[in-house]
Amino acid sequence: MISRKIRIIDILFWVAVIGSDILVYVILGALLMSYEDRFDDSKGEFWSLASMDTREKIIYISYRGWMVLNAIGIIYIVYRIYKRIKLRK
Residue 39 has pLDDT above 90, yes or no: no
Residue 61 has pLDDT above 90, yes or no: yes
- Average confidence (pLDDT) over 8-17: 92
Q: Is 1 part of a structural domain of the chain?
A: no
**Domain ranges, residue 66:** 8-88
Angle between helices 8-37 and 54-88 (to 10 degrees): 150
Number of domains observed in the structure of the chain: 1
Q: Is 67 part of a structural domain of the chain?
A: yes
Q: Is 2 part of a structural domain of the chain?
A: no
- Average confidence (pLDDT) over 57-64: 94
Q: Is 61 part of a structural domain of the chain?
A: yes
Closest alpha carbon to 35 in 19, 50, 47: 47
Residue 3 has pLDDT above 70, yes or no: no
- Average confidence (pLDDT) over 48-65: 92
Q: Is 3 part of a structural domain of the chain?
A: no
Q: Is 49 part of a structural domain of the chain?
A: yes
